[in-house]
C-alpha cells in the first residue's frame, strides 16, 4: 500500500509494508526539484534515518533496476 500527496515544494509518497510479518516501518519519499529524500524510523534507536539522493543518483538508481550486474556510467554524466 502507498499514499501520494502533492505539497507546495514536494511530492510525498509513503510506502506501507502491509505484507506478511516481519513488517518494516513505513518509508517516506519526498521528491523535490533538486533531490529526493527517503526517511524511515529505526525502531532499534527510535530515530528517523534519512537518505538524500541527488537527481543524478536517482537517475542511476532507476537505470540500475533494469540492468544486469556490472559497473556503468552514462555517456553524458554530469554532476547534479
| pLDDT by position in tens, the chain (length 80) | 999 999 999 999 999 999 888 899 999 999 999 999 999 999 999 999 999 999 999 999 998 888 888 898 888 755 54
Task: Please check whether residue 11 is in contact with residue 1, taking contact to mean a CB–CB distance below 8 angstroms.
Answer: no
pTM of the model: 0.82
Amino acid at each position: 500500500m502507498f499514499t501520494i500527496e502533492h505539497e507546495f515544494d514536494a511530492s510525498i509518497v509513503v510506502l506501507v509494508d502491509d505484507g506478511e510479518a516481519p513488517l518494516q516501518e513505513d518509508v517516506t519519499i519526498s521528491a523535490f526539484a533538486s533531490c529526493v529524500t527517503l526517511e524511515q524510523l529505526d525502531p532499534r534507536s527510535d530515530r528517523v534515518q534519512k537518505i538524500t539522493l541527488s537527481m543524478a543518483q536517482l537517475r542511476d538508481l532507476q537505470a540500475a533496476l533494469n540492468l544486469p550486474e556490472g559497473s556503468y556510467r552514462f555517456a553524458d554524466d554530469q554532476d547534479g
